[in-house]
Structure 1
Amino acid sequence: MVDQNLDQSTSPDEQAALLANADPSLTDSQDVAKALNVDPARGLSSEEAARRLEKFGPNQLAGAPPVPKWKKFLQQFQDPLVYLLLAATGISLVAWFIERANAQPGAEGGEALPFDAIVIVLILIVNAVLGYIQEARAEQAVDALARMTAPQTSVLRDDKVERIDTSQIVPGDILVLAEGDSVSADGRLFAAASLRIAEASLTGESVAVGKKPETLAEAKALGDRANMVFNGTSVTQGTGRAIVTGTGMSTQVGKIADMLSQTEDEATPLQKEMIRVSKILGIAVCIIAVVVLAALAILEGFHSVHDIIDSLLLSVSLAVAAVPEGLAAILTVVLALGVQRMAQHNAIVKKLSSVETLGSASVICSDKTGTLTRNEMTVERVVTASGEVQITGTGYEPSGHMVAPNADEQGEVHVPTNIRTEVIATLGAGALANDGELRQDAEGMWESVGDPTEVSLIVAARKTKADRSHAHFTRVAEVPFTSERKRMSIIAKDESDAGNLSVFAKGAPDVLLSYCTRILVNDAVRPMTEGDRQSILASVERLSNEAYRTLGQAYRPLEVNSLAQIPGIMSNAAGQVTDIADQSETIESDLIWAGMVGIIDPPRTEVRDSVAESHRAGIRTVMITGDHPLTAARIATDLGIIDKGGKALTGDQLDALTDKDAFDKATSEVSVYARVAPEHKLRIVESLQRQGNIVAMTGDGVNDAPAVKSADIGVAMGITGTEVTKESAKMILADDNFSTIVAAVREGRGIFDNIRKFLRYLLSSNVGEVFTVFFGVVLAGFLGITQPGTVGVTVPLLATQLLWINLLTDAAPALAMGVDPQTDDVMNRKPRGVNDRVIDREMWGDIIFIGIIMAVVTLIGMDLHLAGGLFTDRSVEAIGHEAQMVEARTMGFTILVFAQMFNALSSRSHLQSVFVGLFSNKWLWGAIGLSTLLQVVVIYVPFLNEAFGTTPLPGWAWLECIDLALFVLIASELRKVVLRAMAKNKA
């Protein structure tokens, strides 16, 4: 025993130093206990555990430092579009101050307040608030996933075993491990009984590793440290106790997490495109502003400071007209709505910008176990001396029965009695020689405890009622399974036969067969012949080629009722039997072969349709697994990933491809990879990306994290995934299902289509505003905007009017288009290429064409109400030039609003007529109605007349506005007719 008083003599820092300078696997467990001042028989005291928790911190991985809320809010302003508006605000403020400073004493000094600047700033703040709220909601969804389960661990404290939150574990705690437990910290074993731990999440090894407490003679790789347990792994068999040597970031998992934190995330295609569009708009605005200012200087000249001020205001007008102020907020809201819809379908996207990337995926790399398959090992075949049967039903629900091979569900009656007897004997032996457990939770769901392979035998026994025929047996001793023995045996007492004992065994068929001398045939036992052995081995090979994992079952009645009476068993002087596990050769001799089972992890029934859908969408599905090549090829064939006869490429074969070009050629052709290591997954992802693919990569274990992070769309498993992998991923599957990925891709494509719709709408509308201002200034004299003798610059539309149009038309209609129903089958076309533009040449054609039509009809409408125009020659003396200009601006203002409403209807498709599904989007019609109502308010409310420079219009003027604006819809429809004809001819 360790003296608990040592707690006061060695500080936690000294304890940490002791462990840092020594490899626990090379140190005797008692020395590790002394270094950590703990008695392995009693554990830490609650007081000491609390002190260490305060010193070492909680047992959890360190995430990125939390970003302060104020900084998150300010990040919403880090956008080129926002920078343009801030520049416009600055110009507006400068112009307002100059105008106020140069106002004549006693005269009206322009606007009392800088309305332009105030409105722009308000819009920026609203955008920032919307973005902040939506990002916060996405983060809350991820946090909610993390809280779905509250992990707990059994530890020994105060001389008793208790369950505590995993985060409360400290160095020196004694972990109490049992089947089904997750290991929640690194530790040095000091006791173990048949302990096997699945370390695939850390090392990639698919087979559970046997653990022993003996000190290692030399340093070994992580996967070979048999006396250590590691955070993030799970116990599949046996029991054990370990001294915690590392928690949190000091664990092996923590070291990997720390390395991953050094990499930076790359911008998504949509983010890159928005930056590009913003730059184009900024450059275009600057060029247009320079051209207009140069034209004004040449044609009219600057005669006073007021001309300079008016020119600066014109620059503001151009900036306001060019920049879709609501774009950032609309993008955020549309992406957030998509995230919420995905969350309802078990796909939790951590970053809004990743939604669009999902729709661009061209390759989905998926693990097999749990994602493409159910992760529920199932006995499908039973082969005995007299024949073979199939066991129906999949998963852990004990619902099914035995049928003849290739029979329908009603084929049970065709199974002969002799085969049925042999099958029941086989499954009964497998269910007894078993450490697994099948149980039903409070909600009626079946769950397994222990090794999934062992649980599959219990399920099969229940399906065939073999468990009932063997229910009278009670286990009295066990010879455990080890990787060296490859078999397990138990001795059970038959309560129905005077307590006589029998041996039941299971194991690798070729190994177990060597211990069998007899065979069960037709409900009778006879000596086993060489022909029997060859037949059994041929069946093993046949099932293995069909990707089944095979297990043999055997038994032997001992015809005694106590262990001491078994012939050959050694006892001590008191007649007590020594460790039965050391006498396996005696116990497992002269066995009777009952039969063998074929076990497989069945594919998810819904995945095949999802794979077919992804192929139809031009998305390649790739399986990457650590499983056997035959198993991988079988599952891939069943799911339609590869054709029958397709092969899997192994990790060794990938290692042989040292040339990069050869490796890329292999990954371009092969869709199934087996027996791969973590570094292979990363190389495959990088190779696919070099070929121009946008790659989605699934992962659950820590070893998957580098590949998941490197992929364009890293996808972590929500149920089986480790914390490190979830941190690395951009999306988390709450149900670990491949079909959820495909559904998310479909949603991502729909969102991308809607983004293109409102981008087409927003940019064409804003280009229309720019052209209106540009041509209105350049052609001011021809249109009557500038009257003879007028001094100074007269702009066709005011900056506040342009800003109102953007508020009115950019917000509600564009947002409604962001939730537009799909106009076609988004999964019936190939994914867009990695170099394809979000706004391509065709869309730019739509944008410029509609922009020109908008500008033309708007300026015509203004011209009709001005003296000296091209289409009318109204008398300026009637109401005065100023009043006439206000009326003309109100007309142009209103025409532009209606033109953009018609443009919203037309922009829903590049080719499809506006009349197809015209009323399918009720939100859009609601937005059009709201925008129209607000425009009416601006025209007829007196104080808004003053703020926006408008005047009430007569009824006939509204008809004129609608008629002129309708030309936008007509022109768009005519253009679509031509484009459809061209597309048809090309096809």
Structure 2
Amino acid sequence: MEAVGPSQDARDVKDRTTGDPGPPTSGPDPTITDAAQVAADLGVDPDAGLGTAEAARRLVTDGPNELRSAPPVPLWRKILAQFQDPLIYLLLVAVVISLAAWTVEGGHGLPIDAIVITAVVLLNAVLGFVQENKAENAVAALARMTAASSTVLRDGELRAVPASELVRGDILVLGEGDAVGADARLLRTSALRVAEASLTGESEAVLKDAAALDEPAPLGDRLNMVFKGTAIAQGTGRAVVTGTAMGTEMGSIAEMLDATVEEASPLEKDLAGVSRLLGITVIVIAVVVMVVTALVNQVSTPTEFVTVLLLGVSLAVAAVPEGLPAILSVVLAIGVQRMARQNAVVKRLHSVETLGSASVIASDKTGTLTKNEMTIERVVTASGRVELTGVGYVPDGEALTGGLPVTDAALLHEARMVLGGGSLANDAQLRETDGTWQIHGDPTEAAFLVAAHKLPGTREVIAEFRREAEVPFTSERKRMSTQHFRPSEDAHGIVTKGAPDVLLGLCDRVQVGTEVIELTAQRRAQALADVEELSAAALRTLGVAYRRFDELDDDVLDESDERDLIYLGVVGIIDPPRPEAAVAVAEAHRAGIRTIMITGDHPSTAARIAQDLGIVGEGARAVTGTELDGLDGGGLRDVVREVSVYARVAPKNKNDIVDALQADGQVVAMTGDGVNDAPALKSADIGVAMGITGTEVTKEASKMILADDNFATIVSAVRQGRIIFENIKKFLRYLLSSNMGEVATVFLGVVFAGAIGLTDASSDAVVVPLLATQILWINLVTDSGPALAMGVDPEVDDVMARRPRPLSERIIDRRMWLGILSIGLVMGLITLLTIDIFLPGGLVAGSDSLEVARTAGFTTLVLAQLFNAFNSRSETTSAFSRPFSNRWLWGAIILGLVLQFAIVEVPFLQIAFGTASLDLAHWLVCLAMASAVLWFDEVRKLVLRGRDARAA
């Protein structure tokens, strides 16, 4: 990225929202230009701000301070998108064929087949549209929650305006807790620190200074600028807006998103392949059967041709699971709702399954894997070291040494003085509101306040001091000092906090217990060694010192008073990992999912956090963005295969890492909250944004948003995605094997019509074992209930105990296809055998009419499919394993039985579906024949389990 102002790409982009250009692409770099000159160039008086009329004019000229977004998709396009599926195309073709056959036949009555299939297609479209609209509304609500306002100086008065109305030349008035609404050049500051983690990935708040830089600098080192999307952590300041909308650094990153293309999810690709295969299968079977039937039966009249065409339609209807699109939409929608209850908002239905396929989770560190709550972990003084338990801003914890409570009075006194002194030289605040602890100000300073609560008596002593003056922190001084008065001792004093090496240079004595002794060369060396030890443990270090005096040397506290100090000790500070994140990382590893941490933080800090979380083992190192920049494509792929921690990375590095992982065959889930994460989120197979701290750009780029900003939620979502994928396989196994049973019944019934007595039972040229309406009934009613129930089946096996599904593995593999075909063949054979049993001719002599025999075959096929529902819950686990764990499945089975009984026995339904009543003997034969599917599959599963055991 260039060092001059907003990125060149961002400045050159035309704001498509307004049609007007952003900030000028030429002109002096504001970072190396005097602040007063920058304001003059922008035509504004820093003490009065823009006039209202001028601000309105510039708003019209430059457009609103909003990042460019894609134009809203028209309603008609959203609706049409629901029909863009190969399976839907297949069903629409079936509708056309049905209507054509109905027309050729004379158009008598209603075209039931065409009406029912059309209803299914429309139902699927409505379900998909409604669910995706709900997701869009949820995302829009999150965007409204994060809408920001800014305080500006206009007409000489302070005003709060929406951040979208900021214009170039506006004078921003900045204070603690404010969100920065635009890129701006600082005019003046007072201890101003800005949290830029959302833009640069740097977890520490950056101290700002209004002085011009000597030369252009990288983004993270532009200390006289503030940027859109960051926040004020401490202090105050004023700045003149230099860039808005797409002319900001945030805009330059948003621009990168246009270069990435979203791909279809693995599930969408698989189902498209299944749909194509089904389409080809349907056409081949229908054509072969129609040709063979026409030749064998010597078809010559138009009526006979229509009969053959209807047979082809029947086979097409039998082969295509009409309910599949609707069932898939419903199951995914249920999964989305379950995940929403677990604080995960999914923007696209198919993204749910993609999570289950993830083999890598690449995560930002700050605020995602860590709490973004700086915590003092250790205090090192002359008498030893104290470990403080507890993390974050909740002041619960205790002081330990060697794992035991501190009993050394001298060490305890020194630790109290260190934490007390750090709490006095402090501008942060710690408050409890309704049982929740919150900080206001710099997180590092707040860490002292929290730690002071953990040592009894420290806060009471702090309360005795009254602040009188301050020498603020600057990056050059690397320290701050505050002056205090203690009435009980009628004494003044200063407390200095800062970089330990700088502080030690100002000290000549050291606190040891309650005494003050000379800071000898040996003690000074030991203090520096303590600092090195803490730094090696990836802890940020701050030293504390003080000096007492009865009177000030002069009336004003300044740097000259920072002398002859008494060294108290040093603290080690860390941004602690989220406790649930370590558990989530371990669960991900158990599931064969690799976790990668990508951060803008220091390499040693990144490595330490990664070790604490279990992402890497002891001694693993972090690779920096600079190192990545020096690699070619092959070298980068080699690195990403081995390295799991990346530090000091730029947005482009994150994108490159994700691309390299995908090129290596990985399914990548990328989590993050900052603007700098957005391009990688969009490039990833599943981008997951943080809902609370996540920026607007990040949420726009993501496919899923975590409402609780909890990394552990991502692993819960992975589990849910895997369960959904398993359930999709279950109902696919069920629907396709059932449909193969129908195809086998019709195909073999026509080919062997004479052998089973069908030909002798009717005078028609072509006799079919099942009517088209009966097949539709099976597909749409009998099949749909159990399939839906399997879509919400509880976790049968431990889905997190297996490795992620490889990209090369299809949703229906060879073993599953063999099971589908074998079960379908058994269904077809037992259905035809049942028909044969009741017909007068054929292999087995019967005495019933064609209507009764066909109804018995129809019923046997329905009952066989209901038995098959239990088979389909697992590829290898017995149907008798936990058979009652899914009450919805039992409800669907019972409903299917009731409906089938109604179709067979209710008179007006008999007319509609061509059925006849059955007596008890018929029903018992149908039940016994249908159960053969269950017993056959139990034997098949037993063989498969034995084969798997031998392979293991």
**In structure 2, do the counterparts of structure 1 residues 165 and 22 end up closer, same or farther at CA, with 3 Å as the change threshold?**
same
CA distance in 2, matches of 1:335, 1:148: 27
2:255 aligns with 258
Counterpart of 2:77 in structure 1: which amino acid? K
Deviations along 1:716-767, one digit per CA (max 9) or x if unpaired, are: 2222222212222222222222221111111111111111111100110111
Match of 1:455 among 446, 451, 476: 446
Match of 1:477 among 448, 469, 475: 469
Match of 2:535 among 520, 540, 544: 544
2:577 aligns with 603
Which range is displaced more, 487-496 or 924-933? 487-496
1:615 aligns with 589
The question of 1:716 aligning with 2:689 is answered yes
Which range is displaced more, 610-619 or 140-149? 140-149
CA distance in 1, matches of 2:650, 2:549: 46
Structure 1 residue 513: Cα displacement: 0.7
- TM-score (normalised: structure 2): 0.93
Q: Secondary structure at the match of 2:131?
A: helix
Match of 2:80 among 67, 74, 81: 74
1:195 aligns with 192
Matching of residues 770-849 of structure 1 within 5 Å = 770-787=743-760, 790=763, 792-849=765-822
Structure 1 residue 183: Cα displacement: 0.7
What are structure 2's unaligned runs of at least 5 residues?
1-17
Counterpart of 1:494 in structure 2: which amino acid? R
CA distance in 2, matches of 1:855, 1:789: 21
Alignment check: 8 A CA contact 2:22 2:62 kept: no
Deviations along 1:120-171, one digit per CA (max 9) or x if unpaired, are: 1111111111111122222233233334445333333454434444334344
**RMSD (Å), alpha carbons:** 2.5
Which range is displaced more, 244-253 or 913-922? 244-253
Matching of residues 557-956 of structure 1 within 5 Å = 557-560=548-551, 565-566=552-553, 577=556, 583-584=558-559, 586-656=560-630, 658-787=631-760, 790=763, 792-872=765-845, 874=847, 884-956=849-921
**In structure 2, do the counterparts of structure 1 residues 35 and 596 end up closer, same or farther at CA, with 3 Å as the change threshold?**
closer
CA distance in 1, matches of 2:738, 2:476: 74
1:383 aligns with 380
Counterpart of 2:335 in structure 1: which amino acid? G
- TM-score (normalised: structure 1): 0.90
Matching of residues 239-638 of structure 1 within 5 Å = 239-407=236-404, 411-412=405-406, 414=407, 416-441=408-433, 443-464=434-455, 465-498=457-490, 500-560=491-551, 565-566=552-553, 577=556, 583-584=558-559, 586-638=560-612
**In structure 2, do the counterparts of structure 1 residues 356 and 17 end up closer, same or farther at CA, with 3 Å as the change threshold?**
closer
Matching of residues 183-222 of structure 1 within 5 Å = 183-214=180-211, 220-222=217-219
Deviations along 1:861-898, one digit per CA (max 9) or x if unpaired, are: 222333432222548xxxxxxxx333333222222211
CA distance in 2, matches of 1:301, 1:22: 88
Structure 1 residue 338: Cα displacement: 1.3
Q: How many residues align?
A: 933
Matching of residues 22-41 of structure 1 within 5 Å = 22-23=27-28, 25=30, 29=35, 33=39, 38-41=44-47
Structure 1 residue 51: Cα displacement: 6.3
CA distance in 1, matches of 2:619, 2:253: 39
Structure 1 residue 379: Cα displacement: 0.8
CA distance in 2, matches of 1:265, 1:278: 22
CA distance in 1, matches of 2:288, 2:201: 64
**In structure 2, do the counterparts of structure 1 residues 762 and 533 end up closer, same or farther at CA, with 3 Å as the change threshold?**
same
Deviations along 1:384-407, one digit per CA (max 9) or x if unpaired, are: 112221222211112223222322
Alignment check: 8 A CA contact 2:416 2:452 kept: yes
**In structure 2, do the counterparts of structure 1 residues 596 and 324 end up closer, same or farther at CA, with 3 Å as the change threshold?**
same
CA distance in 1, matches of 2:160, 2:929: 76
CA distance in 1, matches of 2:644, 2:218: 31
Q: Secondary structure at the match of 2:918?
A: coil
Alignment check: 8 A CA contact 1:378 1:456 kept: yes
Counterpart of 1:65 in structure 2: which amino acid? P
2:99 aligns with 93
**In structure 2, do the counterparts of structure 1 residues 667 and 932 end up closer, same or farther at CA, with 3 Å as the change threshold?**
same
2:143 aligns with 146
2:65 aligns with 59
**In structure 2, do the counterparts of structure 1 residues 400 and 288 end up closer, same or farther at CA, with 3 Å as the change threshold?**
same
Q: Secondary structure at the match of 2:794?
A: coil
Structure 1 residue 647: Cα displacement: 3.1
Give the fraction of aligned pairs with identical amino acids, expressed as a percent: 57
Structure 1 residue 55: Cα displacement: 6.0
Counterpart of 2:228 in structure 1: which amino acid? N
Which range is displaced more, 264-273 or 209-218? 209-218
Counterpart of 2:276 in structure 1: which amino acid? K
Q: Secondary structure at the match of 1:861?
A: helix
**In structure 2, do the counterparts of structure 1 residues 521 and 350 end up closer, same or farther at CA, with 3 Å as the change threshold?**
same
CA distance in 1, matches of 2:660, 2:341: 33
2:4 aligns with none
CA distance in 2, matches of 1:15, 1:967: 73
Deviations along 1:605-648, one digit per CA (max 9) or x if unpaired, are: 22222222222211222222233333233222222222333333
CA distance in 1, matches of 2:488, 2:689: 51
Structure 1 residue 902: Cα displacement: 0.7
Which range is displaced more, 675-684 or 617-626? 675-684
CA distance in 1, matches of 2:923, 2:782: 18
**In structure 2, do the counterparts of structure 1 residues 719 and 909 end up closer, same or farther at CA, with 3 Å as the change threshold?**
same
1:572 aligns with none
2:13 aligns with none
Q: Secondary structure at the match of 2:795?
A: coil
Counterpart of 2:425 in structure 1: which amino acid? A
**In structure 2, do the counterparts of structure 1 residues 612 and 794 end up closer, same or farther at CA, with 3 Å as the change threshold?**
same
CA distance in 2, matches of 1:226, 1:953: 87
Counterpart of 2:833 in structure 1: which amino acid? I
CA distance in 1, matches of 2:448, 2:882: 56
**In structure 2, do the counterparts of structure 1 residues 769 and 293 end up closer, same or farther at CA, with 3 Å as the change threshold?**
same
**In structure 2, do the counterparts of structure 1 residues 75 and 36 end up closer, same or farther at CA, with 3 Å as the change threshold?**
same
CA distance in 2, matches of 1:943, 1:165: 66
Alignment check: 8 A CA contact 1:787 1:868 kept: yes
Counterpart of 2:409 in structure 1: which amino acid? T
Counterpart of 2:937 in structure 1: which amino acid? S
CA distance in 1, matches of 2:599, 2:439: 23
**In structure 2, do the counterparts of structure 1 residues 969 and 376 end up closer, same or farther at CA, with 3 Å as the change threshold?**
same
Counterpart of 2:605 in structure 1: which amino acid? T
The question of 1:973 aligning with 2:935 is answered no
Q: Secondary structure at the match of 1:981?
A: helix
Which range is displaced more, 396-405 or 799-808? 396-405
Structure 1 residue 678: Cα displacement: 3.0
**In structure 2, do the counterparts of structure 1 residues 937 and 54 end up closer, same or farther at CA, with 3 Å as the change threshold?**
farther
CA distance in 1, matches of 2:19, 2:577: 52
Q: Secondary structure at the match of 1:606?
A: helix
Which range is displaced more, 352-361 or 472-481? 472-481
CA distance in 2, matches of 1:726, 1:188: 27
CA distance in 2, matches of 1:587, 1:816: 77
Structure 1 residue 39: Cα displacement: 4.4
**In structure 2, do the counterparts of structure 1 residues 181 and 748 end up closer, same or farther at CA, with 3 Å as the change threshold?**
same
Which range is displaced more, 977-986 or 346-355? 977-986
What are structure 1's unaligned runs of at least 5 residues?
1-12, 101-109, 570-575, 876-883
Alignment check: 8 A CA contact 1:92 1:312 kept: no
Structure 1 residue 16: Cα displacement: 7.1
Structure 1 residue 704: Cα displacement: 1.9
